[in-house]
A and B are shown apart, each in its own frame.
Chain A
């Protein structure tokens, strides 16, 4: 008794609805790439937004999709940053893209090794363990100053031109194009991943791990997998920072960085991939504005924002993007095209 083809078609459409490109997404990326030509004076801050957005995207993968609360995601960020900086300084790998890949894999390895720590225990245990790992790395970087430059940071890092052709400049032109391209490429992969059967299983694990194992999903294995991938993304973000600033210091591992990252993701909203990117934009402009006003005390305002967001309610905050998403759904080009085709056949 096979179901009617129309039902199957409808079901297929519903299932793949999440994966369809909304027009607003296309607008977003067009704008991002257009900024290369239209906003040349802002390339420095846009570069920062790009790698910060990637960093937040990596947190979204584990927090928004798998439900792991981490207070130490900076561990992977910093590990990637130092790897890239050291590779350049000691001229082990001179080409930035290659160094980027190596840094990413190094961070992935670290993520894999530490993933087992976040499998067991409550939310608090996970917080502790992730925080502990990040602080541990900071301590290690501090102690081994002969390698990392210690508290002063790693000096004398020179980044060679990207692909041997595009030299990094003071205005961030190369930097922005480089970071944006990397971000876009990794975003595409992440987008594919969360809309796949694997991504769906992550959402199920986050929602109800008991039920997930009852349908044959190995919860631990899935969490290890996404944690590893997210660590790699964070490591690449850190490497981008190191490469675009030719510098790395202990502060890449700091608690402040992990805490700021949580804020970035929460401002934009977790669980739909764009939250980290939107949050990065808002956060950077907010930071820019506030540190001009009160250079020393801007953490106060950041703290205030966090408190207000929680008191008002995270759902109410992210609901401001809901009207946009509704409009995007109505503007679904495919549906529009079909309606146009249907109405034109009616007329003839």
Chain B
């Protein structure tokens, strides 16, 4: 297995609170890797560290063996590390067409083009419409993002990430807050991701996790607790103990 993204003793401390405790995680190329853990375990913090939104207080991050620990967020995106946000982070005044158009245009290095009119490159427009079709967004293609139903916004959130042609995709609870009847579209989109894209998925819904993942890491209190294949993790007594409290509350 080739490792595409790995962390070595990654740590983050917020004046007294240890949010990430010497995490050494490896994501394989083409992986369908899930990250689970109780609330507050530090899963989103880890994503923020991997993408450069937070600077670590210790440890390193390597992409294909290159040290990217001190790279700013936008440079990591250019190298292929893309994430989605747990709470939608979209451009409320732009339409899905413009949003995806922007992402594709930036990816193609045309973001600094100040003379061309938006939409005058037909190959770019074709690619944008293709992506929108794939995510079933063509019926709202020209509506302001702010007026879209939540499920569509969530699909747009994933579509934007895909438009960046990621090598490593970090999905932060993609189905969170989506009503039951709109979930299957999200799940189908996640399942249809290209095979060469390595995916790290954070999820709470165990059905999604076990149907999606070929490898699961469990994060508790900022530290890696248990790692292994879905069967190993499902049968691990320690994991059950950690989750037993949560399940009792849910039930």
A–B touching in complex (CB under 8 Å)? yes
Q: Hey, what's the 0/1 contact readout for A8-23 against B, CB within 8 Å counting as 1?
A: 1001111110110000
On chain B, the residues within 8 Å of A208 by CB distance are 89-92
Assess the B90–A214 pair: CB atoms within 8 A.
no
A215 touches B77 (CB 8 A): yes
When chains A and B are docked, how far (Å) is the Cα of A326 from the Cα of B93? 18
Beyond A198-B111, A200-B101, A217-B111, whether A16 also contacts B117 by CB under 8 A is: yes
How distant is the Cα of A9 from the Cα of B130 in the complex, in angstroms?
13
Docked-complex contact A217 and B74, CB < 8 angstroms? yes
CB < 8 Å: which of B73, B101, B111, B112 contacts A213?
B73
- State which of A14, A197, A204, A218 has its C-beta within 8 Å of the C-beta of B110: A197
Closest to B106 in A: A216
Q: Is the CB of A11 within 8 A of B128?
A: yes
Are A3 and B130 touching (Cβ within 8 A)? yes
Question: Residue A334 at the B interface, CB < 8 A?
Answer: no
Q: How far is the CA of A201 from the CA of B163 in the complex (A)?
A: 15
A38 at the interface (CB under 8 A from B): no
A213→B98 contact, CB < 8 A: no
Cross-chain contact A3 with B118 (CB below 8 angstroms): no
How many Å from the CB of B34 to the closest CB on chain A?
A: 21
Interface residues of A in 212-244 (CB under 8 A from B): 213-219, 225
Q: Name which residue of chain A comes closest to B131, CB basis.
A: A3
A-chain residues with CB within 8 Å of residue B51 when the two chains form the complex: 214
B113 close to A196 (CB less than 8 A): yes
Task: Report A-chain residues with C-beta under 8 Å of the C-beta of B72.
Answer: 213, 218
Inter-chain CB contacts under 8 Å: number:
142
Query: In whole angstroms, what is the CA distance A139 to B130 when docked?
Result: 58
Whether A196 and B115, one on each chain, are in contact in the complex, defined by CB atoms closer than 8 angstroms, is yes
B190 within 8 A of A: no
Q: Is there an interface contact between A200 and B113, defined as CB atoms closer than 8 Å?
A: no
Is there contact, CB below 8 Å, between A19 and B82?
A: no
Name the residue in A2, A15, A204, A217 with the highest tally of chain B Cβ atoms < 10 Å from its Cβ. Answer: A15
Looking at B8-16, B57-65, B119-127, B198-206, the stretch in contact with chain A turns out to be: B119-127
- Is the Cβ of B73 less than 8 Å from the Cβ of A214? yes
Q: Tell me whether A3 and B91 are in contact (CB under 8 A).
A: no
The answer to whether B119 and A3 touch across the interface, beta carbons within 8 angstroms, is no
Is the CB–CB distance between B129 and A203 below 8 Å?
A: no
- Say whether, besides A7-B129, A203-B94, A207-B93, A218 and B117 are in contact (CB < 8 Å): no
> At the interface, yes or no: A64 with Cβ under 8 Å from chain B?
no
Assembly CA distance A219 to B164 (angstroms):
17
List residues of chain A with CB within 8 A of the CB of B83: 214
Answer yes or no: A93 CB below 8 A from chain B CBs.
no
Report the interface size for chain B: residues with CB under 8 A from the other chain: 51
CB neighbours (8 Å) of B138 from chain A are 3, 7
Q: Is the interface of A mostly helix, strand, loop or mixed?
A: helix
Check A211–B106 contact: CB distance below 8 A.
no
Residue ID in chain A nearest B73 by CB atoms: A213
A11-B125 contact in complex given A195-B117, A196-B115, A213-B77, C-beta closer than 8 Å: yes
Cβ of A12 and Cβ of B89 under 8 Å apart? Answer: no
A3 adjacent to B133 (CB under 8 Å)? yes
Measured CA separation A16–B90 after assembly (Å):
21
- Could you say which interface size class chain A belongs to? 35 or more
Contact of B78 among A195, A200, A216 (CB under 8 A): A216
CB <8 Å contact, A197 and B102: yes
- The answer on a CB contact under 8 Å between A215 and B160 is yes
Instruction: With both chains docked as a complex, state the minimum distance between the C-beta of A53 and any C-beta of chain B, in angstroms.
Output: 21
Task: Report the bound CA distance from A214 to B111 in whole Å.
Answer: 14
Contacting residues, chain B, for A214 (C-beta < 8 A): 51, 73, 77, 82-83, 85, 89
Residues of A within 8 A of B85 (CB): 211, 214
Known: A210-B89, A214-B51. A14 touches B95 (CB 8 A): yes
Question: Residue B21 at the A interface, CB < 8 A?
Answer: no
A287 to B21 Cα, complex, angstroms: 64
Q: Name which residue of chain B comes closest to A5, CB basis.
A: B126
In the assembled complex, the CB of B44 is this many whole angstroms from the nearest CB of chain A, namely 13
Assess A201 versus B125: contact at CB under 8 Å? Given A12-B119, A211-B90. Answer: no
| Residues of chain B contacted by A18 (CB below 8 angstroms) | 118
Q: How far is the CA of A201 from the CA of B116 in the complex (A)?
A: 13
Q: Nearest Cβ in chain B — how far from A157, in angstroms?
A: 35
Q: Is the CB of B118 within 8 A of A15?
A: yes
CA distance A208 to B106 in the complex (A): 16
Q: List chain A residues, Cβ under 8 A from B128.
A: 11
Query: Among B106, B107, B130, B164, which residue has its beta carbon within 8 angstroms of that of A201?
Result: B106
* Contact between A200 and B98, CB atoms less than 8 A apart: yes
Q: Which residues of A contact B160 (CB under 8 A)?
A: 211, 215
Q: A interface vs B, CB < 8 Å? A: 1-3, 7-8, 11-16, 18-19, 192-193, 195-201, 203-204, 207-208, 210-211, 213-219, 225
| 17 chain-A/chain-B pairs, Cβ below 8 angstroms | A8-B122, A14-B95, A15-B125, A192-B114, A193-B114, A195-B117, A196-B114, A197-B102, A197-B113, A198-B113, A199-B114, A203-B94, A207-B94, A213-B73, A215-B107, A215-B164, A216-B77
Q: Which 10 A-B pairs have the closest CB atoms?
A: A15-B119, A216-B77, A16-B119, A198-B114, A211-B89, A213-B73, A197-B105, A3-B129, A19-B117, A215-B103
Query: Which residues of B are interface residues toward A (Cβ below 8 A)?
Result: 51, 53, 72-75, 77-78, 82-83, 85, 89-95, 97-99, 101-103, 105-107, 110-120, 122, 125-126, 128-130, 133, 138, 141-142, 160, 163-164
